[in-house]
A and B are shown apart, each in its own frame.
Chain A
Amino acid sequence: MWQAPEDVLEAVAIGAGILGTGGGGNPYIGQLRARQALRRWGPVTVLAPEEVPEDARVICVGGIGAPTVGIEKVRDLQSYHALRAIEEFTGEQATALISNEIGGSNSVEVMIAAAKAGLPIVDADGMGRAFPEFQMKTFFVYGVPCCPMAIADEKGNSIIIRETITPAWAERLARAATIQMGCVACYAVAPMSAEQVRNTAVPNTLSLARDLGNAVQQAHDTGRDPMEAILNTCPGRILFSGKVADLDRRTTGGFARGTLAIEGLDDFTSHRMVIDFQNENLIARVDREIVCTVPDLICAVTTDGGEPVTTELMRYGLRVTILGFPAPALWTTPQGLHESGPQHFGYDTEYIPLQVAAD
């Protein structure tokens, strides 16, 4: 158990940016909102998954909408309102909250609702990274129903999606409502049991994000190699390092899709990496050979500072290092890969697990 005060937010934002694998949007607004919430309502208690009481009722909250809208109509307390709506509908009170997604700016949404409601949060989430769609959560892959769920806006509107035939239908209906609500809504899913949390959530991801952020900051302050600091914190490996040579970005069906080409430097001179992304980085190839695929994490950080670089901030000439981290084990089972593997994103490629040297 630990307390998440205001001054942990910067490290969490950096770590969540790395785990966001290129997606997750601009972290500034989320971090500022969390800071305001923690200042006003005090620090939030963070429970390790094994510390969650047996009789706990754990509600997953998260944001849904468009990041580009979120920098203008900044979110208020939608996640808290969604929480109250689902509690009222199910007749069950939450005893703890859990994050939908650790990657990117969504990582702090749960803290805002928890601070306001005076509830602890679980050090875990439903992705262990970032993914573009609501239904892509380990909870749902392993049998937690995604409905009923509540969606709330900032105006006092909330709706319940009582039942859907698949989680993908929940995403479809939720997104349609979100657009009508003005594109910065939040959702809350009916409570999970402690056992469900322990079996289906990716554990210890908030503390991992915090530790990654601290590692990057300390490396910066002491002049040490940021890559080494990151890889000492989270086992993975350097896939490539170079400069951005080309960026082809387009928007289809509401998603930012495209390819990023990186020309190798130093150890990777005369090689070329190409990364396919759909908000998040999906597939990385070096000289046309696949070196990493979803659900493993393909993370771009600045070569000199180890700071995460989202696909929106990518541009020609930027010096980046591409890190690969093995996916959480919950994603690499046949059920997990069905929702998160390359084929889910339309690729005719098998998932090749990233090999990380044990030390």
Chain B
Amino acid sequence: MFVGVDVGGTNTDAVLMDGNQLVGAAKVPTTGDVTSGIVDSVTELLRQHPDHTIDAVMVGTTHFTNALLERRELSPTAVLRLCLPATRLLPPLVDWPEELKDAIGGFTYMVGGGNEFDGREISSLDRDGLRQAVGDMVRQGVRAVAVCGVFSPVDPAHENEAAALISEEAPELRVCLSHDNGRMGLLERENAAALNACLGEVANRTVQGIAEALKRLGIDAPLFMSQNDGTLMDTDFAARFPVLTISSGPTNSMRGAAYLSGITDGIVVDVGGTSTDVGALVKGFPRESAVAVHLAGVRTNFRIPDMVSIALGGGTVVTPDPWRMGPESVGYRLTEAARVFGGDALTTTDLAVADGRASIGYPQRVAGLDPSLVERAMAEIQARVETAVDRVKLSGEDVPVVLVGGGSILLGDALAGASRVLRPEHAGVANAIGAAIAQVGGQMERVYSLESGGRAEAIADCSAGAVQRAAAAGADPSTIEVVDVEEVPLTYIPSNATLVRVRAVGDLALFGA
């Protein structure tokens, strides 16, 4: 059996899963230190369901990134770029907020190294320059270093060599390599590596804290953390790449919705109190965004779910004259502020009750509402959600739509663009379930020259790399499959150079064998 835990802003949920079967669920308030909320939820779960063997615990939390937002406990960090003589006009940390740059020390170095798009070296790795830089880092009290080579996703050799040299010269330095985060885009990849580097110590402490707390509960099972792409990472990996957890919440919600509804390809609509998040599921995973993501003011290219958020939820306030629906919301105060609950605010929930599609609270309190007002509100809610659904779709075809979240009572059972509309049970713990059912993944990204029509070979080569990485990350090799292949042609290069990106996932080896 395994335990999935989701640390939300308000509640921490824990679920017990037997294979793909939900056995039990517990909900407790989230705590400031996160760990005691996790302990409380798991304790409650085990109290309800004693005598089960726990094989693994999967935790979804975005806690690591709070340190970044609050600029506390960040390690003094250096960013070392292997690039000279290229890219000098834009040194490392160039577009960072000043306060965050100061908080990590702002130590930057550029030395000879890096590659061209086709794998040639820009210059050979400047080992002397590197030694000098490392010497300076040590003198400055740096504790972590992010290393980023130009085109390291094409050839990581220089980054790896630099890492080896740093470990020789200063073994106490925590090293983060940019190519481990894949993706083209020098500044974004370098920023990602720097964020991971500066969060390493605090992430390590947090993860160790959770692991020890679980041990004290008598759970002697491996601990995994959820990452943005819906796969798991072990505690060592989480401490090295803490930023890969930043959007595990929405990801787990979508994966949980997929599990609960049995839909692997379709749209998930999560209607909350204030807003509605709409995302697309592809083979059971959220489709990822192609645009740059800003974290604490830093531009990165982390893969996070491609979602459309609209300011519409169960607590959204409606004004009849002049007509307005939102963006104000009574939010979590819905059960006291809305008219059907005895309050004064006219919310979307009140109108849905008046319409008859929802039955909560005291329907008689909204019985006198003007029917044309109710009709107008229902039509607008429907239209806004339908537009959002349409925006996340990849084509004009109708697809299944899964509704989750407390506010989904606002919606009818038919939506334009939906082949069918599903409302799964247990949607309240979708996030924790998403954590518990997560698989293990690997990703590979490389530039290939497709001049001689070697597209199939290129994809096969890249897929083999992704499968290998998934296995290295702990996936059972017999269950690994390629879930995503993306080709990005590099324009203006006549040799048909194409960036190929492959993602593979498999079941955790623990259970798959």
- In angstroms, Cα B308 to Cα A319, docked, is 13
Q: Which of A76, A156, A254, A263 contacts B492 (CB 8 A)?
A: A254
In the bound complex, residues from chain B placing their C-beta under 8 Å from that of A77 are 88-89
Residue of A nearest to B299 (CB): A28
The digit string for B77-98, where 1 denotes a CB below 8 A from any CB of A, is 0000001011111100011000
In the bound complex, residues from chain B placing their C-beta under 8 Å from that of A245 are 396
In the bound complex, residues from chain B placing their C-beta under 8 Å from that of A67 are 491-492
Q: Which of A33, A279, A317 contacts B89 (CB 8 A)?
A: A33
Q: How far is the CB of B81 from chain A (nearest CB, A)?
A: 11
Interface assignment of B393: CB less than 8 Å from any CB of chain A: yes
A154-B86, A155-B122, A182-B116 as given contacts; A251 in contact with B94, CB under 8 Å: no
A182-B116, A317-B391 as given contacts; A66 in contact with B493, CB under 8 Å: yes
Q: Which of A72, A179, A255 contacts B150 (CB 8 A)?
A: A72
In the bound complex, residues from chain B placing their C-beta under 8 Å from that of A66 are 117, 490-493
In the bound complex, residues from chain B placing their C-beta under 8 Å from that of A28 are 292, 299
- In angstroms, Cα B150 to Cα A279, docked, is 26
Check if A72 sits within 8 Å of B89, measured CB to CB.
Answer: no
Interface assignment of A36: CB less than 8 Å from any CB of chain B: yes
In the bound complex, residues from chain B placing their C-beta under 8 Å from that of A268 are none
- In angstroms, Cα B120 to Cα A256, docked, is 25
A68-B488, A251-B489, A317-B390 as given contacts; A73 in contact with B86, CB under 8 Å: yes
Those of B81-139 within 8 Å (CB) of chain A: 83, 85-90, 94-95, 114, 116-117, 120, 122-123
Interface assignment of A118: CB less than 8 Å from any CB of chain B: no
Interface assignment of A329: CB less than 8 Å from any CB of chain B: no
Check if B186 sits within 8 Å of A317, measured CB to CB.
Answer: no
- In angstroms, Cα B488 to Cα A74, docked, is 19
Interface assignment of A286: CB less than 8 Å from any CB of chain B: no
Check if B95 sits within 8 Å of A76, measured CB to CB.
Answer: no
In the bound complex, residues from chain A placing their C-beta under 8 Å from that of B85 are 76, 154-156
Q: Which of B290, B395, B488 contacts A316 (CB 8 A)?
A: B395
Check if A279 sits within 8 Å of B186, measured CB to CB.
Answer: no
Check if A36 sits within 8 Å of B86, measured CB to CB.
Answer: no
Check if A255 sits within 8 Å of B493, measured CB to CB.
Answer: no
Among B83, B150, B493, chain A packs the most CB atoms within 10 A around the CB of B493
In the bound complex, residues from chain B placing their C-beta under 8 Å from that of A147 are none
Interface assignment of A29: CB less than 8 Å from any CB of chain B: yes
Q: Which of B90, B299, B392, B492 contacts A36 (CB 8 A)?
A: B90
A74-B187, A245-B396, A316-B393 as given contacts; A251 in contact with B496, CB under 8 Å: yes
Q: Which of A154, A183, A319 contacts B117 (CB 8 A)?
A: A183
Residue of B nearest to A263 (CB): B396
Interface assignment of A168: CB less than 8 Å from any CB of chain B: no
- In angstroms, Cα B494 to Cα A175, docked, is 9
Q: How far is the CB of A279 from chain B (nearest CB, A)?
A: 7
Check if B116 sits within 8 Å of A65, measured CB to CB.
Answer: no
- In angstroms, Cα B490 to Cα A318, docked, is 23
Check if B492 sits within 8 Å of A183, measured CB to CB.
Answer: yes
Check if B491 sits within 8 Å of A76, measured CB to CB.
Answer: no
A66-B490, A317-B391, A317-B392 as given contacts; A71 in contact with B184, CB under 8 Å: yes
In the bound complex, residues from chain B placing their C-beta under 8 Å from that of A234 are none
Interface assignment of B185: CB less than 8 Å from any CB of chain A: yes
A182-B122, A316-B395 as given contacts; A74 in contact with B90, CB under 8 Å: yes
Among A65, A75, A182, A251, chain B packs the most CB atoms within 10 A around the CB of A251
Interface assignment of A189: CB less than 8 Å from any CB of chain B: no
Q: Please, how many residues of chain A have a CB less than 8 angstroms from a CB on the other chain?
A: 43
Interface assignment of B499: CB less than 8 Å from any CB of chain A: yes
Interface assignment of B151: CB less than 8 Å from any CB of chain A: yes
Q: Which of A36, A75, A175, A254 contacts B491 (CB 8 A)?
A: A254
Q: How far is the CB of B247 from chain A (nearest CB, A)?
A: 20
- In angstroms, Cα B340 to Cα A331, docked, is 66
Q: Which of A37, A155, A279 contacts B86 (CB 8 A)?
A: A155
Check if B90 sits within 8 Å of A69, measured CB to CB.
Answer: no
In the bound complex, residues from chain A placing their C-beta under 8 Å from that of B86 are 73-74, 76, 154-155, 182
Interface assignment of A243: CB less than 8 Å from any CB of chain B: yes
Q: How far is the CB of A140 from chain B (nearest CB, A)?
A: 19
Those of B158-193 within 8 Å (CB) of chain A: 184-187
Interface assignment of A292: CB less than 8 Å from any CB of chain B: no
Q: Please, how many residues of chain B have a CB less than 8 angstroms from a CB on the other chain?
A: 43
Q: How far is the CB of A75 from chain B (nearest CB, A)?
A: 7
In the bound complex, residues from chain A placing their C-beta under 8 Å from that of B116 are 73, 182-183
- In angstroms, Cα B489 to Cα A67, docked, is 11
Q: How far is the CB of A352 from chain B (nearest CB, A)?
A: 28
Check if B186 sits within 8 Å of A68, measured CB to CB.
Answer: no
Q: Which of A37, A71, A74, A317 contacts B393 (CB 8 A)?
A: A317
Tally A-B pairs: CB < 8 A.
123
Residue of A nearest to B90 (CB): A74
Check if B89 sits within 8 Å of A112, measured CB to CB.
Answer: yes
In the bound complex, residues from chain A placing their C-beta under 8 Å from that of B394 are 315-316
Among A67, A72, A179, chain B packs the most CB atoms within 10 A around the CB of A72
- In angstroms, Cα B123 to Cα A75, docked, is 16
Those of A92-143 within 8 Å (CB) of chain B: 112
Interface assignment of A334: CB less than 8 Å from any CB of chain B: no
In the bound complex, residues from chain A placing their C-beta under 8 Å from that of B393 are 316-317
- In angstroms, Cα B150 to Cα A69, docked, is 10
- In angstroms, Cα B123 to Cα A156, docked, is 12
Q: How far is the CB of A197 from chain B (nearest CB, A)?
A: 27
Residue of B nearest to A311 (CB): B491
- In angstroms, Cα B110 to Cα A154, docked, is 15
In the bound complex, residues from chain B placing their C-beta under 8 Å from that of A32 are 90, 94-95, 187
In the bound complex, residues from chain A placing their C-beta under 8 Å from that of B496 are 251, 254
Q: Which of A36, A72, A317 contacts B94 (CB 8 A)?
A: A36
Check if A69 sits within 8 Å of B95, measured CB to CB.
Answer: no
- In angstroms, Cα B495 to Cα A175, docked, is 12
- In angstroms, Cα B498 to Cα A253, docked, is 12
Check if B122 sits within 8 Å of A251, measured CB to CB.
Answer: no
A182-B117, A251-B491, A254-B491 as given contacts; A243 in contact with B390, CB under 8 Å: yes
Check if B184 sits within 8 Å of A72, measured CB to CB.
Answer: yes
Those of A8-24 within 8 Å (CB) of chain B: none
In the bound complex, residues from chain B placing their C-beta under 8 Å from that of A263 are 396
Q: How far is the CB of A48 from chain B (nearest CB, A)?
A: 28
The digit string for B48-87, where 1 denotes a CB below 8 A from any CB of A, is 0000000000000000000000000000000000010111
Residue of B nearest to A253 (CB): B494
Check if A255 sits within 8 Å of B89, measured CB to CB.
Answer: no
Q: Which of B114, B186, B299, B493 contacts A254 (CB 8 A)?
A: B493
A68-B499, A73-B86, A76-B85 as given contacts; A183 in contact with B493, CB under 8 Å: yes
Q: How far is the CB of B464 from chain A (nearest CB, A)?
A: 24
Residue of B nearest to A179 (CB): B493
In the bound complex, residues from chain B placing their C-beta under 8 Å from that of A69 are 117, 490, 493
A73-B122, A73-B150, A154-B85 as given contacts; A65 in contact with B392, CB under 8 Å: no
In the bound complex, residues from chain A placing their C-beta under 8 Å from that of B291 are 313
- In angstroms, Cα B380 to Cα A273, docked, is 27
Those of A208-255 within 8 Å (CB) of chain B: 243, 245-246, 250-251, 253-255
The digit string for A154-168, where 1 denotes a CB below 8 A from any CB of B, is 111000000000000
A67-B492, A183-B493 as given contacts; A72 in contact with B117, CB under 8 Å: yes
- In angstroms, Cα B186 to Cα A28, docked, is 12
Residue of B nearest to A80 (CB): B89
- List 27 A-B pairs, Cβ < 8 Å: A32-B187, A33-B89, A66-B492, A66-B493, A68-B499, A71-B186, A72-B184, A72-B185, A73-B116, A73-B117, A74-B86, A74-B89, A76-B88, A76-B89, A154-B86, A154-B88, A179-B494, A182-B86, A182-B120, A183-B117, A246-B396, A251-B491, A254-B493, A263-B396, A279-B491, A316-B394, A316-B395
9 other A-B residue contacts (CB within 8 Å) besides A72-B150, A76-B86:
A33-B89, A66-B492, A71-B186, A75-B89, A77-B88, A182-B86, A253-B494, A254-B493, A256-B489
